[in-house]
């Protein structure tokens, strides 16, 4: 995919995220916890996108230490998002299903760690 098309898709994706987030904040305006969740999730996603872009740029000739730091940031941000969404979903489920949600979240986080640092 050429750079101009990629930039247009990125802009479209960020625009859709902003619109959806504004709508979510509007509909949950009285609930400070939900508004904070939406804003934190958005900030985390935007930081993740920036880190992934830096990781793609560093692929060419950056030092291994720099790439490792970016990978650590990517893994940390994805772990944060996984925990955030698992906590929201598990709260709505019966205890057995909530335990399964958390088990899948832990497995996903462990798999991400393995993929980023051990493979």
Q: What's the Cα-to-Cα distance from 39 to each of 20, 30, 36, 102, rounded to whole Å?
A: 11, 14, 5, 23
Neighbours of 94 (CB within 10 A): 9
pLDDT digits (tens, 9 = 90+) for 22-48: 999 999 999 999 999 999 999 999 999
Q: What's the Cα-to-Cα distance from 11 to each of 4, 18, 32, 38, 57, rounded to whole Å?
A: 11, 10, 28, 19, 18
User: Can you give the pTM of this predicted structure?
Assistant: 0.82
What is the token pair recorded at 9?
Answer: 């898709």
pLDDT digits (tens, 9 = 90+) for 67-86: 888 999 999 999 999 999 99
Q: How far apart are CA 60 and CA 30, in angstroms?
A: 48
């Amino acid at each position: 995919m050429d750079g101009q098309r990629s930039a247009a898709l990125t802009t479209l994706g960020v625009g859709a995220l902003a619109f959806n987030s504004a709508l979510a904040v509007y509909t949950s305006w009285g609930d400070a916890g939900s508004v904070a969740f939406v804003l934190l999730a958005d900030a985390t996603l935007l930081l993740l996108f920036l880190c992934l872009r830096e990781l793609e740029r560093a692929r060419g000739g950056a030092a291994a230490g720099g790439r490792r730091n970016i990978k650590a940031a990517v893994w940390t941000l994805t772990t944060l998002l996984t925990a955030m969404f698992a906590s929201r979903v598990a709260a709505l489920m019966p205890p057995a299903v909530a335990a399964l949600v958390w088990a899948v979240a832990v497995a996903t986080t462990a798999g991400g760690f393995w993929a980023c640092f051990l493979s």
